[in-house]
Structure 1
Amino acid sequence: MLTSETMMRIRAELKPTMEVRRFLGEAMKELKEDAEHGPQLALLRLKLLTEAWAEAREASELEEHPDRLHSAAHSGASIRQTLQSCFFSQGYYFQLLAQVRQLGLVDASLRRMAAAMAQDILKPAERAANNRSFLFALGHAHASRLFPELPEAEAWSAYAEGVWSDWYEPGDCYEPGYVAHNIKPVIELGLALGKDAELQSEKSQAAYRRYLDHISPSGLAIQPGDGGNQSAYVDALTLMAELTGDGAYLWAAKQALTAGEYGGYYNAKGGRLPADHVASTLEAKFADVGDVKPVRPPAAGGVQYMYPQTYRIADRLILNASRELFGKPYAAFYLNDRMETHHHAHEDNRGDLYHYEVDGVMYLKRSGWHKWAGQSNTFVVDDATSEFPFCYTKGLRSNHWYQASSNLRLLSDYMPSERFKQLYTTPESFKHAGEPVSGDETMLPLPHFYVDQESPHGVFLINPEGMAGKNEQLTVRSITISINTFPRGGEAKFPRSIAWYRDFREVAPSDGPVELLIKDIHLGGPKGKLSLVNLETFADDLEVTFYEDGKKGTADEKRVLTREEVRQMVSLVTDERMGEPALRVISGPGRLDLTWMGLQEPVHLTEEYQRVGFDYLYVSDVREFLRTPIRIFVNGLTCRSFYPDRQQGGVLKEAVSERQGEDSFGSMMYEGVYTYDSKWTRQTLLTEEGFLLVVDRFRPGAEADGMAGGPVWQIGRPEEQGLNWFDATADAQQGKKLMVYFHPQRGCQYGVQFQPKLWHDQAYAAYAKAELQSGREETFVSVIVPHDAAVSGVAVSGKANYHSLLVRPGEESKGIFTDIQPDGTVKVTLHPAASGQSTPLKLELSRDGGWRVSR
């Protein structure tokens, strides 16, 4: 029996606006971990929640405006509203109800109320292989089996089967950086639907092995999206071990659990489990695993693919020659060129070194949920006048031409197709998708709702044929330049009008109308450059519409301007600086859309034209514009990661992984990166001692001429630095520091930028930067050396910069020495002070991928 104090405590947790998922999560934890009281605690929480739902429904029926939508997906104005919108809550409730029913604790009254609640809150909602769909479907699957007599049960089951197929047919989830809430729920969904054979198939196990290889020899993991650290893997890996009987998953789960919260994700200060707690913690956590015994898996290195048995999208490059010992080096780079914010990953993190550890110490990592290349461990290109590598304070320059270039390939996920038809109104079941919209094909931008003609149960937020590579053919029929002018301090600031930038600053405040020039609206890619608008006849097929500040773009919100109004706002002028024609646009507070219709340009998004862009110059004073408040719509489509400034983009053309002994090499090459005509190759070499060499070779095209770029590394606050090296503490408790040493060369600038990021996440970005010249390949060499804190940065680098010299005569034989030969071969020598060895360690890496390590 539960004590009265316990029951009062749990009742006190119940509040109308609470996060129901956390209330239910406690119940599931209690049921699993407390054999004596867990079942009664879970039953009590279920009863209280069901009663709260009934009270909220009754109150809603008496109100004139019942249950108005709340802005948060996981907490609404009432328990009922949260249960209607929160996918976690739906999945957890009916999963828990099924478990308690198996124990014989569900009486007729609770069953009757729960059935009524299912009829009220369950509507086939989101589809696709993502965490939301899996949890929604988990609730529907259990409800269909708990209440088979209800008329809705067949539809619930069909929806759950549809979501299962969304995962099983391609054989993976499209959220590579979001582990805790996708793979475990989809396995549980399969079990609820009786898919035991499919869950143990080679296709499913190929997907499971991806997660296994994310766990380093010391148990650490960092996600390249917004997923978390190794703690997010434990339950999923345990379930895989139980399902397959493969002890490698149990080994990985135990390693991840004992790693605790170490690693610094979101600057967390947590550490590994204390040694005297490990045995008891492991025994308690894995008591129910059965006869499975942990087995150490082989090395995790190589190119890892999403959808390993179907689409084979290169996702990560993992360098790890062995997991035989706890401290073996491990480094992981993000390869994926298909991601967008919708996928719980981020568009501009190609080449990001998101995890680098040696001897169980995390030295470099992706530290949190941020999407910008300038806040990652990757290669950054920007306008030469911009603050580098990320814009915090400088803002834009007036009377300066900038190049806007967006990754057109993102739209393959959002273009409708013959099988996946587009909807223009928010489905009634989508109570989790924010404020509903209602419109037609004239909306700008168009909403992202798609129905599968072959399985019309629920609605997709993307077209899954995009990820499958089946939606690459686009006919450009219209192009829109959407100019936002945000009044200073207004309610509809940049983040609200251009959703999901995850930028909480007022980044583009205006005190009145803004004047700018626009020219060269084009597509670009392997096929060259294709002009879309002839400025001499710009008024032909041009429609200009205006929306008040913050409006979404529905038909009843827009105002089509008259020709006289257009002439006042848009005119053809000659740019005095360049002597070329340009459009002069005056945009008042609100949103001004310039849409050219009547186009008919069929293009392939990978083989022909990969980017869309234009040139722009602000005449007005925009020194406070930290970002460019302009969006591009193609055929009325855009998406959250489709922006005109600092868009990395790029198509992965090659990814290579090799190993010699316990030294590892990897490379990746992208075309169409930052501009449609530029190429970038990142080569990397990880030695068995844990030293990391990264060579970036960037060949700018004509579009990148005069821009600036270079590699960026996220480190702690540098305690020592030279002209071209930076030394920072990586783990104070273990007495470990990290040296980032850039090859010293004229024409480069080296620096460090303090970077506060989302929430409390922060780092210091050490960078090398050079101005780019069309056709001239720039080679950047980064040597990354972990070392004991007792050894100074000057000793490790071997460069004291006396008399302002980058390398003083005689310093070639001290610390770190780098050389770039005329044929592009990079040679690095780590002398004993840097390597900690008795003899020098030599690394060599050629342009064509040849490499060697000499000891």
Structure 2
Amino acid sequence: GGVRGNPNSGGRIKPGRDHIYLDPWNAEYFGGAEGVNDGDVWYRLAKEFRDPEFLWASEQAIFGGRPPLGQAVPPEYEAAYRERYQWFIERGIKPSVPGGQSKIGYYSPLKHRAPERLYLGPGRESGKPFVSFYIYDRNNNYMHCCDDAAGRLYEYCVDGAKFLHSSGKYNNRFWGQAAYDLLNVLPPDMAFPFKLEDGKMGGERDDVWKLASLSLPFCLNCREAPDSKNWFYDKSIKLFRRADDPEFGYAHGNVDGYWYLNNEYHLRSVYLGEFDRPTRLRNLRLAGPKGSITLAALDEIPERLKLSEHRGEEQVELTGADRAVAMRIVKDGRNGGRSLQLNVQPGTSLSVVLDGLDLKFDANDEYTRVSYDYRGSGAGMFLNEYTRPRYHRPHYNRGGILVRESLRTENSGDDSFGQFTYRNYFGAHSVWTRQTVLTEEGYLVVRDEYLPGPDVDGFQAAPNWMLNDEGDSEDAERHWYDAPAMSHAWWQTKRKRVLLYMHPDRRLEFGQVAHRASQDLGYAGLRSTFGRAILREGKKQVWLAVLRPFNEGVHPRTVAALINTKLNKNGLARATIGSMTVSINPDGDWTVDRR
């Protein structure tokens, strides 16, 4: 339909049409990653298999696809198509839109069937609305994405206009994990979701107790993952080799981890630091569905705790009097009690290692996260001497585990519904569920529910909506905002906008923060838009949002005036948009009523 998103790259439309019609054999509508023309790839596949759906995909990538039925196709488009696809015309092969409506997309669909994407929409015909979520939960190394953002809504398009697009290839590295359309949870002292002065994550204070953690499934396919049956880490090249053929090639991560084949974990040691300023540590623990194990309460100094001082590249283990001076027990803790204080001297840093552990368990289904509380700075962490995922941020490690039984997609006529749940989401016992209705008209209604565990008590959270940075207002007290579409299909001559309406809960703080995206989105200016809540352990927090497209020229207040939302004490969400009412129950029942 002339617009698309992509979870790993921009999917940006190349400007201008003249070059497409003048030279169709070198035409490219969507800019391909790494200089590869996607349309050429689909062309070769279509020719090899004489497949009309592959031919349709090639036409989309090269020409941008045809306009909706009832809108004339320009003669220059038809002429360019005949020149580019003459081989297919001679054989009577015509492009065919792939069938199907809402569905789950799988990574390795025939063998391992790992859920990767959730698609909502009435079909793929030009102009019809569609929404896509990236749900694969082992993505910290896959596709060179280097992120921790499973569950993000990476494309929302209606009538040839793209309103949301979150691409993850580099955002986590350069801009931070908040740069996605999903639920974000941050410590109480951080700017939410970005700092106003530079649009990046940060703002932590040394005098606030917070959580540092590492989700264990996040480690299982990373570049320094533990060994498994089929793959082992070759320290000489810092890459993985096949166990059955170690001389043949290599991989940049443990491939067994992509398929959930190495969930059995052996925890032998935990490394904390380096800490470059005085810091207090408390309650190093292992937790998950099976319960919680205290590895070291740190209300006294464990004998097997090793302490090292770092000066530049030099590292020395401290013993005796030096060790006694460098750390002591003090009366302070996240929830009272005592903690271990590291007395870091200027020009140095300290690290601690808890050694001598011998715990074997399932890292996906029994114990899923190593955590500790700290007050200070430099809360690094890695396990078993070298297991440390790239771009891991201990104080906001999302690390969600997809609950496959929660997955649902269905259609009622041309209305669509989808649902997914993640456990271990920012905390070992925290759960996020997102339920979404996409109506035939392209209205998007999203219900988010978060059950906070003890790790995130007092933290701040909100679904983060990334709108184009050309909205009409920055009023932080208002619960709705509007913005122009991020891009338009070549055939869409009307400029489109979208209004984001968030349920006006008095306990939420609404606002926007301007920031940039990475090169995946062309360094575009964006505004992260949110209704921030303060979390309390065991108390469910529910958010409700409506996204409603409209034509440029219509005043957004007119659009907002026709939207009304309700959330009752049982979690039932209702959104009225004009004469239509969308209802979503916590159990997944949903309706769209038109009057």
1:563/1:757 CA distance change after superposition, 3 Å = farther
**1:364 maps to which of 139, 164, 170:** 164
**2:180 maps to which of 376, 386, 409:** 376
More helix by share: 1
Distance 2:10 2:187 in 1: 31
Q: CA deviation at 1:235?
A: 2.6
Distance 1:301 1:767 in 2: 27
Corresponding position of 1:822: 569
**1:676 maps to which of 421, 428, 434:** 428
Distance 2:99 2:334 in 1: 62
**2:581 maps to which of 835, 839, 842:** 842
Q: Does 1:707 align with 2:459?
A: yes
Corresponding position of 2:68: none
**1:542 maps to which of 264, 282, 305:** 305
Once the two structures are superposed, what CA deviation does each residue of 1:280-322 show, in whole Å capped at 9, x if it has no partner?
A: 5434544566744322221352111101011111111111212
- Say which SS state the counterpart of residue 434 (structure 2) adopts: strand
Corresponding position of 2:281: 518
Distance 2:349 2:253 in 1: 26
Letter in 2 for 1:382: L
Contact 1:304 1:317 in 2 (8 A): yes
Distance 2:371 2:59 in 1: 49
- Say which SS state the counterpart of residue 472 (structure 2) adopts: strand
Structure 1, unaligned runs of 5 or more: 1-217, 261-273, 427-446, 486-513, 552-556, 623-627, 799-814, 832-839
Corresponding position of 2:296: 533
Higher relative contact order (CA 8 A, sep 6+): 2
Distance 1:576 1:736 in 2: 52
Contact 2:101 2:120 in 1 (8 A): yes
Corresponding position of 1:727: 482
Distance 2:103 2:284 in 1: 41
Q: Does 1:462 align with 2:253?
A: yes
**1:396 maps to which of 201, 204, 207:** 204
Corresponding position of 1:242: 47
Distance 1:452 1:381 in 2: 39
Letter in 1 for 2:290: K
**2:443 maps to which of 675, 682, 691:** 691
Corresponding position of 1:611: 369
1:361/1:590 CA distance change after superposition, 3 Å = farther
Letter in 2 for 1:657: T
1:535/1:384 CA distance change after superposition, 3 Å = closer
Corresponding position of 1:148: none
Distance 1:845 1:795 in 2: 25
Contact 2:187 2:395 in 1 (8 A): no
- Say which SS state the counterpart of residue 100 (structure 2) adopts: coil
- Say which SS state the counterpart of residue 220 (structure 2) adopts: helix
Distance 1:298 1:525 in 2: 41
Q: CA deviation at 1:547?
A: 4.4
The 5 Å alignment of 1:132-281 reads 218-226=1-9, 228-229=11-12, 230-232=30-32, 233-259=38-64, 275=74, 277-281=76-80
Contact 1:410 1:642 in 2 (8 A): no
Q: Does 1:420 align with 2:231?
A: yes
Distance 2:49 2:300 in 1: 66
**1:348 maps to which of 148, 157, 173:** 148
- Say which SS state the counterpart of residue 747 (structure 1) adopts: coil
Once the two structures are superposed, what CA deviation does each residue of 1:689-723 show, in whole Å capped at 9, x if it has no partner?
A: 00000000111122222111111111123214671
**2:321 maps to which of 564, 581, 584:** 564
Corresponding position of 1:787: 550
Q: Does 1:736 align with 2:496?
A: yes
Once the two structures are superposed, what CA deviation does each residue of 1:562-607 show, in whole Å capped at 9, x if it has no partner?
A: 4433333222222278542211113454653311111111121111
Distance 2:462 2:260 in 1: 31
For these two proteins, the number of residue pairs brought into alignment is 538
Letter in 2 for 1:817: N
Distance 1:645 1:536 in 2: 21
Distance 2:220 2:141 in 1: 14
Find the structure with the greater CA-based Rg: 1
1:234/1:824 CA distance change after superposition, 3 Å = same
- Say which SS state the counterpart of residue 396 (structure 2) adopts: coil
Q: Does 1:337 align with 2:84?
A: no
Distance 1:606 1:776 in 2: 25
Corresponding position of 2:331: 574
- Say which SS state the counterpart of residue 460 (structure 1) adopts: coil
Corresponding position of 1:602: 360
Contact 1:725 1:739 in 2 (8 A): yes
Distance 2:362 2:351 in 1: 26
The 5 Å alignment of 1:282-361 reads 282-287=81-86, 291=91, 292-324=93-125, 326-341=126-141, 343-361=143-161
Contact 1:482 1:633 in 2 (8 A): no
Contact 1:748 1:768 in 2 (8 A): yes
Contact 2:189 2:203 in 1 (8 A): no
Once the two structures are superposed, what CA deviation does each residue of 1:160-187 show, in whole Å capped at 9, x if it has no partner?
A: xxxxxxxxxxxxxxxxxxxxxxxxxxxx
Contact 1:330 1:357 in 2 (8 A): yes
1:581/1:567 CA distance change after superposition, 3 Å = same
Q: CA deviation at 1:231?
A: 4.1
1:794/1:534 CA distance change after superposition, 3 Å = closer
Distance 1:394 1:344 in 2: 24
Contact 1:631 1:643 in 2 (8 A): no
Once the two structures are superposed, what CA deviation does each residue of 1:641-695 show, in whole Å capped at 9, x if it has no partner?
A: 4331211111111211010100000010111101111111100000010000000
Contact 1:450 1:462 in 2 (8 A): no
Q: Does 1:453 align with 2:244?
A: yes
1:791/1:544 CA distance change after superposition, 3 Å = same
Distance 1:582 1:537 in 2: 7
Q: CA deviation at 1:747?
A: 0.6
Corresponding position of 2:400: 650
Contact 2:270 2:381 in 1 (8 A): no
Structure 2, unaligned runs of 5 or more: 13-29, 33-37, 66-72
Once the two structures are superposed, what CA deviation does each residue of 1:601-636 show, in whole Å capped at 9, x if it has no partner?
A: 112111111111111102xxx7xxxxx552333443
- Say which SS state the counterpart of residue 47 (structure 2) adopts: helix
- Say which SS state the counterpart of residue 375 (structure 1) adopts: coil
Q: CA deviation at 1:558?
A: 4.2
RMSD: 2.5
Letter in 1 for 2:573: V
Letter in 1 for 2:367: Y
Once the two structures are superposed, what CA deviation does each residue of 1:405-427 show, in whole Å capped at 9, x if it has no partner?
A: 2211122221112442322212x
- Say which SS state the counterpart of residue 715 (structure 1) adopts: strand
> Percent of pairs identical after alignment?
27
Once the two structures are superposed, what CA deviation does each residue of 1:100-157 show, in whole Å capped at 9, x if it has no partner?
A: xxxxxxxxxxxxxxxxxxxxxxxxxxxxxxxxxxxxxxxxxxxxxxxxxxxxxxxxxx
Contact 1:632 1:643 in 2 (8 A): no
**1:770 maps to which of 530, 533, 548:** 533
Q: TM-score, normalised by structure 2?
A: 0.85
Distance 2:303 2:296 in 1: 10
Letter in 2 for 1:599: L
Contact 1:691 1:786 in 2 (8 A): yes
- Say which SS state the counterpart of residue 296 (structure 1) adopts: coil
Distance 1:462 1:393 in 2: 27
The 5 Å alignment of 1:627-642 reads 628=378, 630-642=380-392
Q: CA deviation at 1:539?
A: 4.0
Q: TM-score, normalised by structure 1?
A: 0.60
